[in-house]
Amino acid sequence: MAKAKETTAEKKTAKKTSAKKPAQKKAKEQTLVIVESPAKATTIEKYLGPGYTVKASMGHLIDLPKSRMAINIEDNFQPEYITVRGRAKLLKELQKDAKKSDHVLLASDNDREGEAIAWHLNNVLKEKTSADIKRIVFNEITPVAIKEAVKNPGEIVEAKVNAQKARRVLDRLVGYNLSPILWEKVKNGLSAGRVQSVALRLICEREKEVEDFIPEEYWTLEADFQKGKTKFTAKLSKYKNETPELKSEKAVNDIIEEIKNSECKVTDVKVTEKTVRPKAPYTTSKMQQDAANRLGFTSRKTMQVAQQLYEGIQMGTNRVGLITYMRTDSVRISQTAMDEVREWLSKEHPDQLPPEPIQYAVGKGAQDAHECIRPTYAKYTPDYVKDYLTRDQLRLYTIVWERFVSSQMNNAKSATTSVEIKAGEALFRASASKLVEKGFYSVLKVLSAKEEVTGNLPSLKPDEVLEASHEFYPEQHFTQGPARYSDASIVRTLEEKGIGRPSTYAPIISVLLDRYYVTRNNKQLMPTLLGKMICKILVESFPDVINEQFTAEVENKLDTVEEDKLVWNDMIRDFYGPFIKRCGEVEDSVESVKGFLDEPTDKICEKCGKPMMKKLGRFGFFLACSGFPECHNTKSIPLAKCPKDGCDGEIVERKSKGRGKSFYGCTNYPTCDFISHFKPLENQYCPKCGWFLVEKFDKKNGNYKSCINPDCDYLHSADEGAESADN
């Protein structure tokens, strides 16, 4: 009986257990999301919550090796990829994470490079996991955008990967064939590239225009006029019914002498209204241009700060991506963003909200996969976020916010009053503008246009006689030649000519600066002697490759590959045959200039007593002992004698700690603490006080020479400069 009871109890227990089983929860599925950067990973993981692990690939894990070309010409130009050095451990960790996951979502950036990263990850992960691997893309890092992307995963776009592969292979073929020619003919360690060399050519050609330009003297004349107590200034516009060409001070003084006692009468008053339309939201190039012009940012700095804003900023307990993806050439605005900004404007600026959304035309050839660069939420005004951002982050965010929000506002209207005043046979003109309807200017601060409100004129009528104040302001000018490229203008030119893409503008400039082919002086890009030499060899030897038409044509073909209308290998094959043949011809025919830049000097090495040589290194010219390799002594090149009394030191370039900015100090430091933030003009000294001269720059005068002595007022004119050069 006991046994029977026990069996019955066991049965009851078994029934209970079996009844509980269906109620047990199934283990929650695990999803691995792989993005490119740790900052982005942190932000996204907070949005997705439990069940999701977000890891960073840190960019490319699989790529071409740096030590060799790694393109198999015979096998249809197939690239020979390897695991990037130092990334094997990270790759294994991602494979391990994928193995433990039910789903893997590849969330690299939504561009060609990002697609290639996803493609490589897919290939290496599927060998180690049975998890379902999908691709997700998003344009902004916000909870809504991320969750929407996760709900709608897709496949890797093979054509986009092929476009990246074609660019990579083509650039590798060009760089790895041109660079050895430069090593042999000019100097070891140099590099050439399909796009960077064209940008260098543009900068060198502009420099030649600057050097060839001969300034001409001309004069302008302004005069004061008065109505009642209001005085205003007008500019000479016509003399004897013709536009005056005033070539000398005498010509101006002759006019003053003739008209100084003449009656001054208003002959015409015109008021014209102008409608000012808001500008489209930012593309990458336009953002870089405005950041350079308005904030003084280099292209590299602009993209670094934009990356931080895109990946997420800690705002209290939340981490928020503040702007959309920063590499785009599209001005498209999503419907969600359009609705959100119009709702914000309806509350904050209802009078400036147009009845319908404003659409902007996407430029020809633009990759429309992305939106414009915009704030993720219009309600996050610059004032709202300022406490969470660094100064640079706030400044860049402000122009992005202003440009986007203003793009969906009413036009502004300005009224310009133009007045003509006759004095003898001279006609003077003055004008003043004011905003009559603020429109989109209501939200602009950093991006406001000062020229929209200019001058101040009294109320005037035709035939009204004015009081002449007999105050004349003749001013000497010199015609200015073409401006050297700045970060802003070279980016604008590259975009206009179809050279490169949004992701390449900043790296192009950085490579030229890092290689010492170009220097940045007063925000102007100037080619070095080395840069000019390389440009001359490449342009003369490869005119069909180092030109803007070829580079722009390549961009168009890459777009066609991405549209799956051109086979990438065919594109490479058409280029490679003629190119490699030309490389062989150049190897045999171009004369070497190796060592041409080395110069003997009268300086003696204090370590071994041998003469010092002036040589060109990675960061410019320097002095090196001619006894190398036995003696390794090197020194900075002296640019001027130290001007301090009793000091026999010389002024050399130095770098400050931290940001590494250049300044110029005495070799006798710390005994002598003389420094200058302006570069000395080599062996050029002031005839008044004997201190060295420097080149300065301002918007009014451009580049000009000046004495570094604060107690000396000596400025070089064009004539004095010529005399000094002759002496």
Q: Which residues have a catalytic role annotated?
A: 325
Write the CB contacts of 523 (distance below 8 Å, at least 6 apart in sequence). 292, 296, 486, 487
670-672-673-676 Cα dihedral, nearest 10 degrees: -130
User: Token match 């004369």: residue?
Assistant: 591
Could you tell me where the beta strands, DSSP code E, fall in 370-445? 412-423, 426-437
Q: Is 45 exposed, middle or buried (0-12, 13-18, 19+ CB in 10 A)?
A: middle
What is the spatial distance between Cα 657 and Cα 659, in angstroms, rounded to a whole number? 6
Neighbours of 75 (CB within 10 A): 10
Residue at 207: amino acid letter: E
- Report the candidate in 646, 644, 603 with the shortest Cα–Cα distance to residue 625: 603
What is the spatial distance between Cα 675 and Cα 68, in angstroms, rounded to a whole number? 45
DSSP designation for 602: E
- Report the candidate in 228, 262, 251, 256 with the shortest Cα–Cα distance to residue 471: 256
HSE (side-chain half, CA atoms, 13 Å) at 95: 14
What is the spatial distance between Cα 686 and Cα 682, in angstroms, rounded to a whole number? 12
What is the spatial distance between Cα 294 and Cα 396, in angstroms, rounded to a whole number? 10
Backbone angles phi, psi at 69, to 5 degrees: -65, -45
What is the spatial distance between Cα 153 and Cα 133, in angstroms, rounded to a whole number? 9
Q: Is the omega angle on the peptide bond into residue 507 within 30 degrees of 0, that is, cis?
A: no
Write the CB contacts of 35 (distance below 8 Å, at least 6 apart in sequence). 41, 44, 54, 55, 56, 57, 107, 108
Write the CB contacts of 474 (distance below 8 Å, at least 6 apart in sequence). 219, 220, 221, 249, 252, 253, 256
User: Token match 């996050």: residue?
Assistant: 380
